[in-house]
């Protein structure tokens, strides 16, 4: 079992899948000669050539549309969008075409494609390059949306996404690229739509995805070591389909829940999770569900302001303490 970065896990998986299936090809801005803005595709142009690693103009609607057509004809394109913010320029192709083809053609045709794209703040890239707008896509039937938080999950979910016959939006948080984790020598495709209980606990459930799942695990470990608080951490891994069963089962066990997300609070992913908890575990709750999310402002460029606007380990810890204090748990 090797310890590698999230970035390396993505690179290795793309290479493995391209070697395994000649129908898999890459398309996107600066992924070939420049080797990708975040170097995920480093070396792949030299190995596979221009036919399978396609550099494109800065025209998201055009090259996403080309990928949709290629997928309809039997290829398996993996599109790299330089940032999820730029996906808005291809919204019509993603929402009105890729997501609708299978249903509109009565199952006779599908669009087996992956849209890889990073998002998230904390890198001082400004308000228009630092958003978490995955909710726009998790809202749409016909799309699948996954958000791995570890190198091992990134590899397993990317394998699953490439093999899937539906279009999959594959979310990568910029803050995760250099994080490291153990990855088995042989990784099987994950089950899309299955959350993971990455840390068992009995006092409270903490639910997160992508970057905030890693923050939640760190907070839970510290709370256990320093205060004896036993927090169970649920990593969603997938936003559509959403694994409501695992969420509800965990909250029924602990009786308390805090949800952590990098997007905005109002109408956010956490609101859907809270509704799911209300539907499936209301009678088991000992305190209201709390949510930790980004400040509802365009993300500032100035580092201190950007840091203050983003959810953090400290804000999550405070929410856990407030929830437990509401049920009489004393530190």
Residues with a catalytic annotation lie at 60, 129
DSSP-derived 3-state class of residue 61: helix
CB 211 within 8 A of CB 262: yes
Q: Residues 206, 219: contact at Cβ < 8 Å?
A: yes
Q: Phi, psi at residue 148, to the nearest 5°?
A: -70, 150
Q: Are 203 and 329 within 8 A, CB to CB? A: yes
Read off the DSSP letter of residue 292: E
- The number of residues in the chain equals 331
Nearest to 114 by CA among 130, 98, 96, 92: 98
Q: Is the peptide bond before 39 cis (omega within 30 degrees of 0)?
A: no
The interaxial angle of helices 269-281 and 244-254, nearest 10 deg, is 60
In angstroms, the CA 31 to CA 53 distance is 7
Q: Which two tokens stand for residue 287?
A: 């305190």
Q: How far apart are CA 18 and CA 163, in angstroms?
A: 11
Please report which residue ranges of 140-199 form alpha helices under DSSP H.
151-163
- Are the CB atoms for 201 and 233 separated by under 8 Å? yes
């Amino acid at each position: 079992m090797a310890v590698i970065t999230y970035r390396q896990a993505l690179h290795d998986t793309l290479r493995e899948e391209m070697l395994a299936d000649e129908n898999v090809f890459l398309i996107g801005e600066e992924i070939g000669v420049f080797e990708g803005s975040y170097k995920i595709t480093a070396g792949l142009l030299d190995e596979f050539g221009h036919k399978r690693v396609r550099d494109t103009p800065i025209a998201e609607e055009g090259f996403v549309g080309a990928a949709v057509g290629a997928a309809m004809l039997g290829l398996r394109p993996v599109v790299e969008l330089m940032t999820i913010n730029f996906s808005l320029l291809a919204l019509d192709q993603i929402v009105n075409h890729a997501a609708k083809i299978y249903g509109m053609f009565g199952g006779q045709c599908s669009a087996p494609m992956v849209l890889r794209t990073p998002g998230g703040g904390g890198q001082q890239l400004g308000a228009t390059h630092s958003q978490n707008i995955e909710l726009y896509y998790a809202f749409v039937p016909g799309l699948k949306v996954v958000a791995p938080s570890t190198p091992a999950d990134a590899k397993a979910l990317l394998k699953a996404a490439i093999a899937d016959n539906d279009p999959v939006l594959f979310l990568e948080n910029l803050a995760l690229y250099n994080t490291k984790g153990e990855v088995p020598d042989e990784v099987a495709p994950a089950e899309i739509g299955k959350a993971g209980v990455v840390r068992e606990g009995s006092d409270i459930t903490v639910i997160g995805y992508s970057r905030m799942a890693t923050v939640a695990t760190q907070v839970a470990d510290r709370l256990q070591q320093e205060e004896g608080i036993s927090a169970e951490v649920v990593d969603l891994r997938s936003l559509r389909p959403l694994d409501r069963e695992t969420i509800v089962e965990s909250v029924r066990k602990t009786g308390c829940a805090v949800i952590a997300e990098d997007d905005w609070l109002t109408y956010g992913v956490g609101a859907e999770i809270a509704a799911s908890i209300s539907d499936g575990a209301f009678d088991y709750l000992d305190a209201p569900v709390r949510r930790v999310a980004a400040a509802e402002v365009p993300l500032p460029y100035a580092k201190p302001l950007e840091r203050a606007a983003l959810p953090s380990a400290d804000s999550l810890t405070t929410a856990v303490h407030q929830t437990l204090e509401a049920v009489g748990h004393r530190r």
